[in-house]
């Protein structure tokens, strides 16, 4: 099917009403553009599981505390439409900021406020970030009224926030969490990776290696403590040298995000890592069963 490009959310909303009247299921993949194969994997999955697929392509200014970061965010609408189309999108919606936020640069009077989950880890590092995410997700879900909406585990805390607001505000939308797509050396794909210098790109491998090291340590000793795993992960990330500043490397309860202590339950925990590498904030996470292929974890 040929993907149609809409420049307004109103147009997409009208198209989605027609899809729903025809009894078609709608898969929705919200993105901030600069699409890569990670986004492509969400779109293809949505295409396999639904009659039509709507992809939104909107750099949401409300979730950026730092307006320099907003300006520096990569954009490539032509490339996005081509990738979305080849992955199976029906509609790509790239609305303008003023349609969604008529008062911008003043924030809208009404924002969706998420609660404690939005205050820790990424929420602590980026105050207001998750309320910005929750507000745009609510607006987009209201317009598209998807049968299923697809979000990446790559942004694990964001996925948890979206599950929370959906269950609180619009429980009829099914939220599907999708596995993280990685580069050949293990680095989690991210639109921000294009901002890494060649040296930072090498140092960035430390994040996925740290997740591998944690999985390996757990397999070697299932009684290993969360504290030991945290130290092992931090050491692996910081092996990237001076270019790397670690924000956190921590084993948490996968639903409450409470820090794990003592021996860990691999079915209920998640390892979260965030580091600033060469000035670029990178996130990764995995369960304790995670392993990189041997050649990835040992390559220079
Ligand atoms: P973004 O454009 O970065 O806001 O991401 C849009 C969606 O794609 C979010 O649900 C992300 O979690 C997801 N995503 C980003 N990177 C990846 C990846 N490497 N693998 C799978 N999903 C991803």
Domain boundaries, the chain: 4-178, 191-297
pLDDT the model gives residue 66: 86
Active site residue 39: yes
Domain 4-178 coded CATH 1.10.1060.10: no
- With bands split at pLDDT 50, 70 and 90, how would you rate the model's confidence at 1? low
Taking residues 66-70, what's their average pLDDT?
88
pLDDT in tens, 127-138: 999 999 999 999
Q: Is 192 in the pocket of ligand 1 (CB under 6 A)?
A: no
Question: How far is the centre of ligand 1, averaged over its atoms, from the C-alpha of 223 (Å)?
Answer: 33
Q: Are 92 and 81 in contact (CB under 8 A)?
A: yes
Going by their DSSP bridges, the two strands 91-93 and 52-57 should be labelled as parallel
Taking residues 206-220, what's their average pLDDT?
97
Looking at the CA of residue 151, tell me the nearest atom of ligand 1: 10
Taking residues 152-165, what's their average pLDDT?
98
- With bands split at pLDDT 50, 70 and 90, how would you rate the model's confidence at 115? very high
Question: How far is the centre of ligand 1, averaged over its atoms, from the C-alpha of 33 (Å)?
Answer: 10
Q: Is the pLDDT of residue 53 over 60?
A: yes
Taking residues 54-77, what's their average pLDDT?
93
- CA nearest ligand 1 atom 5, residue: 31
Q: Is the pLDDT of residue 193 over 80?
A: yes
Pairwise CA distance, residues 66 & 70, whole Å: 7
pLDDT in tens, 84-97: 999 999 999 999 99
Taking residues 240-265, what's their average pLDDT?
97
Q: Is 285 in the pocket of ligand 1 (CB under 6 A)?
A: no
Domain 191-297 coded CATH 3.40.50.720: no
The single residue listed with the structure tokens 């609180």 is: 168
Q: Is 151 in the pocket of ligand 1 (CB under 6 A)?
A: yes
Taking residues 25-29, what's their average pLDDT?
98
Average pLDDT, the chain: 95
Considering 6, 39, 141, 212, which one is annotated as catalytic? 39
pLDDT the model gives residue 50: 98
pLDDT the model gives residue 296: 60
Looking at the CA of residue 29, tell me the nearest atom of ligand 1: 7
Q: Is the pLDDT of residue 300 over 80?
A: no
Rounded percentage of the chain residues whose pLDDT exceeds 90:
94
Q: Is the pTM of this model over 0.85?
A: yes
Q: Is the pLDDT of residue 262 over 50?
A: yes
């Amino acid at each position: 099917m040929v993907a149609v490009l809409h420049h307004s959310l109103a147009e997409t909303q009208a198209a989605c009403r027609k899809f729903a009247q025809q009894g078609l299921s709608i898969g929705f993949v919200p993105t901030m553009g600069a699409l890569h194969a990670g986004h492509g994997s969400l779109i293809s999955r949505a295409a396999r599981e639904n009659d039509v697929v709507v992809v939104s392509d909107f750099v949401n200014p409300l979730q950026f505390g730092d307006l320099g970061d907003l300006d520096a965010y990569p954009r490539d609408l032509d490339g996005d439409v081509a990738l979305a189309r080849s992955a199976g999108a029906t509609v790509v919606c790239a609305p303008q900021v003023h349609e969604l936020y008529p008062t911008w640069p003043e924030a809208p009077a009404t924002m969706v406020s998420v609660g404690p989950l939005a205050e820790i880890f990424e929420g602590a590092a980026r105050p207001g970030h998750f309320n910005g995410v929750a507000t745009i997700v609510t607006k987009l879900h209201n317009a598209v009224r998807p049968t299923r909406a697809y979000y990446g585990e790559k942004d694990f805390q964001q996925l948890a926030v979206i599950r929370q607001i959906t269950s609180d505000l619009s429980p009829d939308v099914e939220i599907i969490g999708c596995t993280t797509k990685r580069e050949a050396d293990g680095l989690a794909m991210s639109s921000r990776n294009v901002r890494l210098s060649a040296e930072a790109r090498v140092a960035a491998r430390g994040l996925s290696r740290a997740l591998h090291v944690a999985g390996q340590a757990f397999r070697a000793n299932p009684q290993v403590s969360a504290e030991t795993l945290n130290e092992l992960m931090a050491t692996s990330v910081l092996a990237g040298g001076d270019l790397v500043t670690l924000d956190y490397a921590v084993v948490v309860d996968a639903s409450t995000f409470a820090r794990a202590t003592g021996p860990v339950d691999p079915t209920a925990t998640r390892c979260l890592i965030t580091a600033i590498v060469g000035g670029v904030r990178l996130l990764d996470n995995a369960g304790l069963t995670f392993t990189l292929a041997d050649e990835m974890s040992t390559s220079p």
